[in-house]
Amino acid sequence: MFKLFFRLSGCVFLMLPWLVVGGCNERPETSLTSSVRQEVSPPPVEAPAAELLLSQRAFIEVSDKVTPVVVNISAERVRMVDRISPLFEDFFGDFLPAPPAEQRERSLGSGFILSEDGYILTNEHVVSGAEQIKVRLTDQRVFPGKVVGVDPKTDVAVIKIDAAGPLPVAVLGDSDRLKVGQWALAIGNPFGLDSTLTVGVISATGRTDVGIEDYENFVQTDASINPGNSGGPLLNIYGEVVGVNTAIVASGQGIGFAIPINLARLIADQLISSGQVTRGWLGVSIQPLDAALAESFGMDRVTGALVTRVLPGTPAEKAGIRRGDVLLSFAGKPVRTVKELQLLVASSALGKRVPVEVLREATRLTLIVVLVARDETAQPAIQQPYAEESAPWVGMSFEETGAGVRVAEVEPNSVAANAGIQQGDLVLAINHHVVKTLADLYTARQRARVRDSALLLLQRGDTNLFVALPLKD
């Protein structure tokens, strides 16, 4: 004997092998009109707007032409985990000693084919640490994938499959020509759902302070991107790849980011040719400007990158760049933020003459720099001076050391504290006058009395920074 309960239109039925009992009152039968359109009846909208039909046709064509170049990537990793729950470890750990066990993790991502012989572009985080990679094409063929090279600083990776015969290849566009408001289409495998197409627009370009990667210049889109889309293509209406879908804002909707294809292609070319990435190096320390700093340099807007230090023997020193210069453009492209400058320098060719526009003491200069390869292991020297106290100034006191003049104390809520100066900062210059001794500091302070503000160059740990200090009587 068995029992089965199910609910239907608000009625509960008890079904036994020999009995059916209805638990609701009888209701009159309702006749429903079929919702299936008959050939003789017109659709609700007989003539959709021509623009809608054209857009729909374009989306269908992009999907038909590009979907075959998009692949599904499955990566398997192994990590070590405790054999027993940490909850019971305090009670049973001494009695149940056991070495960590292997646990296999699988992640899904997307990618697209770069060449007929099987090179595929994807995200570094999709394949990072994977011991086994499987690539499934849209025709359901599955191939083992081999990592050719990865670049964690941009989240770009290239993998390779060996297939019999040539593969369909993606057409790469020009991400530098993207405009906000253009159509954007994403194809990928969100949550493992193969060949999913979503549509939106380009929401923004040049996003550099997102905090995801070391080198950022993201394309922002509201085309729906979900887990599993990572590594898939962001397309324009021509079906050209203009970005590599990378990340989403988990707390928001309609905010996704893609690596611009021009940057991804630059990285991919190096990974395919040599398996690693070589970046340009200028040899300066820089900081962003705020409104107070920009005003102190006579600028009417906050833009550019402020040079706080020039390392000896570097391309910057050889080009004539000085501490206190504001870098306005690099290789003919405007520098709006520190992140933009870092990306421009890192992406530039080595050994070529590159024009750099700087603002120096209210004068614009164009200097020529020749970049060299960046040494990722190089670290600037750290200075840590200490000595005896001196007279206070706008809420801070000083002490002289063998390395210079150090801020010994900063009074809370003082002018210095509100400007961001901290105890232990080393004063390198005031209004571009070098400070090495307390006498230098006193002279620079006296000169600054006729001005409304003072521009201080400080060293904090291994970083140099400028601070605009308002002066009050």
Beta carbons within 8 Å of 220's beta carbon, 6+ residues apart: 202, 203, 204, 205, 207, 255, 256, 257, 258
Beta carbons of 297 and 432 less than 8 angstroms apart = no
Catalytic residues: 125, 155, 230
Region class of 114: left (phi > 0), else alpha (psi between -120 and 50), else beta: alpha
Structure tokens at 297: 């340099």
Written as one letter, the residue type at 405 is V
**Residue 468 tokens, joined:** 């605009």
Q: How are the residues of the chain apportioned to helix, strand and coil, as percentages rounded to the nearest 5? A: 20, 40, 45
Task: State how far the Cα of 428 lies from the Cα of 405, in Å rounded to an integer.
Answer: 8
Is 418 in a helix, a strand, or coil?
helix
Helix (H, G, I), strand (E, B) or coil at 93: coil
In this structure, how many other beta carbons lie within 10 angstroms of the beta carbon of residue 205? Answer: 20
Q: Is 442 helix (H, G, I), strand (E, B) or coil?
A: helix
- What span, in angstroms and rounded, lies between the C-alpha atoms of 115 and 416? 59
The number of beta carbons lying within 10 Å of the beta carbon of residue 156 is 28
Amino acid at position 304, single letter = G
